[in-house]
Structure 1
């Protein structure tokens, strides 16, 4: 079964951690507060519980080419526990499996640029700091 499709001009945020409903709500509030317009298509389906990057990549690779997505963001345990909600960005196309973290505050910048193909996943991943977290081009 293919991964869910994001709405136009948004990015898929896929919940994989289901241990704390309050944290999920907090993460969604943080994403909504980070920009003036919706940037995320948030999907909370229990079938994705605990799935890691490799399993999700395999599921996406099995989908018909017309249904495949290029990148996604995971709301995993680390994103749920940290107050900055650092989502795990995952490349599914150019360098499948390449990842970096992005706090909710930077999510709109990345989502916008990726959804309109203004920038590539690698540009953000290359700008991540030594911890693997993107904190903007001026601060990273």
Structure 2
């Protein structure tokens, strides 16, 4: 039985594909390397970085979105998944899952999915994860702004 995901102040990045260790290491480097701020010439700044708690446990291999949501801490509203597509596509499009609280009419609903309300999914390339994670975590921007900025293939590649 798979255990609950860890509680963290940072956004969880859950690895669900264990087929290629080199791809995983490349993805980790991509999401933990600060993005350079092209508008800022101050070399003292490190750049933007997603605040992530990396979950690298084989127990979560192959989990579906619904299974991940069911295992997530109740207070989390954003989860990032490193699945097979993220590991095999050169752009490393991670799966971002936005968990929304149930609407008032859903309060009496039964089942695991209703506990969280609805979930929305969006792919985000690894080099732009910081933008989505920082702005959603700090409530600077709405989820819909990232969805609208995604390209026709459903992948957010930046503004």
- TM bin (shorter chain): 0.7 to 0.9
Shift of 1:96: 2.6
Query: d(CA) in 2 for partners of 1:5 and 1:90?
Result: 16
TM-score (norm 1): 0.82
Q: Does 1:2 align with 2:26?
A: no
2:134 aligned counterpart, secondary structure: helix
TM-score (norm 2): 0.73
Alignment of 1:1-140 (within 5 A): 1-7=3-9, 10-35=10-35, 36=47, 38-39=49-50, 40-60=52-72, 65=74, 68-94=75-101, 96-137=118-159
Q: Is the 8 A contact 2:34 2:49 kept in 1?
A: no
Query: d(CA) in 1 for partners of 2:118 and 2:86?
Result: 21
Shift of 1:37: 5.3
Aligned length: 130
**Where does structure 1 differ by over 6 angstroms across 4 or more consecutive aligned residues?**
none
Query: d(CA) in 1 for partners of 2:93 and 2:8?
Result: 19
Gaps of 5+ in 1: none
Q: In terms of Rg, which structure is larger?
A: 2
Q: Is the 8 A contact 2:17 2:84 kept in 1?
A: yes
1:99 aligned counterpart, secondary structure: strand
Deviations 1:69-123 (A, max 9, x none): 0011100000001122110000122563311110011111111111211122232
Shift of 1:132: 0.7
Query: d(CA) in 2 for partners of 1:3 and 1:125?
Result: 26
Query: d(CA) in 2 for partners of 1:38 and 1:100?
Result: 19
2:145 aligned counterpart, secondary structure: helix
When the two chains are superposed, the root-mean-square deviation of aligned CA atoms in Å is 1.9
Q: Is the 8 A contact 1:13 1:75 kept in 2?
A: yes
